[in-house]
Amino acid sequence: MLANHLVILPILVPLMAALLQLLPWGENPQYYRRIIGIVASSVTLILAILLVISVQDQILVYALGSWQAPYGIVLVADKLSALMVALTAVLALPVLIFACHGEDNLGSHFQALYQFQVVGIMGAFLTGDLFNLFVFFEILLISSYALLMHGGGKLKLRATLHYVVLNLTGSAIFLISLGVLYGITGTLNMADMADKVAALQGDDAAIARAGGMLLFVVFALKAALLPLYFWLPQAYANTTGTVAALFAIMTKVGIYAIVRVFTLIFGADGGESANLIQDWLWWLGLFTILLGSAGVLGSRDLRLVVAYLVLVSVGTMLTTLSLGHTDAISAMLFYLVHSTLVAGALFLLADLIAEQRGKTASRIVKGRKMAQHNLLGAMFFLAAITVIGIPPLSGFLSKLFILEAARTGAQVLLLWPLILGATFLMMIALSRAGSRMFWHTFDGKPNETAHPMWQHAAVMMLLVGAVALTVFANSVSQYTDAIATQLATPAEYISAVLQTGGSNE
């Protein structure tokens, strides 16, 4: 019983924290809001670790109000959900620590919006119901609209407007797809829908496939897959480092939704709708890697470089997923953890560099020496070699796993050159950025702007996480192997959801 309640607690804790942070707190409300936020994020991290431990030998199902599936709303924690919840918690705590040292003062209610964003992300990972996936998507999107504008400015307003319009369109398509699927199956519970879609034939199966393709469009938009990625570079490059770092997990919500829906409902056991998007993923993923790599090389701003690195990672993950077998899924998940931690660290680091360089900000041009030049240079070097994939760091291991997952001649012929070529272009772009910002500086007095050590510590927490991924690579890869095996046998998930006897409220 206690273990089952772990499923809802990663949602409830940030939700209660956000509500408390909205209250007036006397003469110094920001101090108390920061304390509440740090405590809530720390507790959420502990709960996430406990959840990972609890799902080792079981799938946890939480039936809200004790209404069992498929009629009631359920939250489900399997190995994949637990991994994503833990990754979100690991990212959210250091990013919040970074924000608590000044950046959260740039706008109203940043702390509460941050926690609401975490609520939406956690809920999306834990829900067992497609309609509630839509609800949690909307929670995280509404929070993200406000967070993108954090601090104000014309560039942020323009990027946010594009982001809002595209996501409102995506939300409308999401509702249409839910209506189509509900009309043909009579359910929105994912486990129940998987059973019913597998049994459909003829015209009914064709309608279900149409609903599934609409869902793919929505999730591809959230994940920033070509050709629906145009919102991402400007949105991530023009917001603050804190918000961009938290958004490093946002594209992973779209990727998670693709993995969950298209292995469970439209996977190998989906009857006439089996493997619905596999060919689409392969080609769209390859072109996303190609265009993302061109963006990395062509960008003249460090923030934009990091935004395009996120795009390359999206293409890499979804191309790997399209390979379809368990080794590929395991490699994709290992890379997902690596890319999230490194992208978060790079966005925070780009903010520190931009503020300490003064007028040149994050543009990749010659500028003044920074107040904490050597420290920032060392952190940038570690982040750069990790994301490039220099042995034996996590970037190297994750790409090695992906290349090993390509088994056929066609896969090797296309995937290997693109992955290795993208890595080469990353090396050129990051080497150019590092040399311009840290080596080729103007003579004279360094910029006097410095940052508190807690902000540097937050960046180091994420970089240490990436290094730990290397140290514990065997344990992590064993866990991702177990996730891939579980995803390949959806009957276990379906049985746990539809036959659970737990009583929760």
Task: Read off the pTM.
Answer: 0.92
CA distances from 186 to 6, 194, 215, 472 (A): 30, 12, 17, 45
Beta bridge partners of 301: 363
Which of 10-14, 218-222, 356-360 is least confident? 356-360
Element (H, E) at 67: none
Q: What is the pLDDT of residue 502?
A: 42
For residue 2, what pLDDT is reported? 57
The burial of 153, by beta-carbon neighbours within 10 Å (0-12 exposed, 13-18 middle, 19 or more buried), is given as middle
d(CA 37, CA 246): 14
Q: What is the mean pLDDT of residues 20-38?
A: 87
Residue 72 CB-half CA count within 13 A: 21
Q: What is the mean pLDDT of residues 495-502?
A: 72
Provide the token pair at 358: 């003064």
Pull the structure tokens for residue 447: 């910029």
Residues of 269-290 as b/e, b for ≥16 C-beta within 10 angstroms?
bbebbebbbbeebbebbbbbbb
Mean pLDDT of the chain: 88
Length of the chain, please? 505
Residue 90 has pLDDT above 50, yes or no: yes
Phi/psi at 499 (nearest 5 deg)?
A: -115, 10
CA distances from 191 to 75, 178, 260, 495 (A): 12, 15, 10, 8
* Lowest pLDDT segment from 218-227, 257-266, 437-446, 496-505: 496-505
Residue among 341, 276, 277 nearest 95 (CA): 341
97-140 confidence digits (pLDDT tens): 999 887 777 777 889 999 999 999 999 999 999 999 999 999 99
**Greater confidence, 460 or 102?**
460
Residue 80: partners with Cβ closer than 8 Å, 6 or more residues away: 256, 259, 260, 333, 483, 486, 487
Render pLDDT for 237-263 as a digit per residue (tens, 0 to 9): 888 888 889 988 988 999 999 999 999
Q: 363: which strand partners?
A: 301
Q: Is the pLDDT confidence value at 364 over 90? A: no
Q: Has residue 416 got a pLDDT over 50?
A: yes
Residue 153 sits at φ, ψ, to 5 deg, of: 120, 150
- Residue ranges covered by each domain of the chain: 277-490
Contact between 317 and 336 (Cβ < 8 Å): yes
Q: Estimate to the nearest angstrom the gap between the alpha carbon of 258 and the chain centroid.
A: 12
Rounded mean pLDDT of 434-448? Answer: 78
So what's the pLDDT on residue 505?
Answer: 43
Q: Which residue has the higher pLDDT, 149 or 344?
A: 344
The pLDDT score that the predictor gives to residue 504 is 46
3-state DSSP assignment of residue 441? strand
For residue 27, which phi and psi values (nearest 5 degrees)? -75, -25
pLDDT at position 117, please? 93
Q: How is residue 75 annotated by DSSP?
A: E
Residue range 196-225, pLDDT digits in tens: 998 888 889 999 999 999 999 999 999 988
- What is the three-class DSSP state of 76? strand
* Residue 208 contacts residue 133 (beta carbons within 8 Å): no
Q: Residue 441 above 80 pLDDT?
A: no
3-state SS assignment for residue 300: coil
Q: Containing H/E element for 62?
A: strand 60-63
Asked if pLDDT for residue 443 goes beyond 80, the answer is: no
Tell me the CA end-to-end span of the chain in Å, nearest whole number: 11
Q: What is the pLDDT of residue 68?
A: 80
Q: Quote the pLDDT of residue 3.
A: 61
> Which tokens belong to 199?
């049994």
**Which band of pLDDT confidence, cut at 50, 70 and 90, is reported for residue 501?**
very low
Bigger pLDDT: 106 vs 505: 106
Q: How far apart are CA 442 and CA 18, in angstroms?
A: 45
What percent of the chain lies above the pLDDT cut of 90? 55
User: Which has the higher per-residue pLDDT, 187 or 104?
Assistant: 187
* pLDDT tier, 151 (very low <50, low <70, confident <90, very high otherwise): low
Within 10 A of 358 (CB to CB), how many other CB atoms are there? 13
Of 231, 129, 491, 270, nearest to 278 by C-alpha is 270
Q: Which residue has the higher pLDDT, 344 or 268?
A: 344
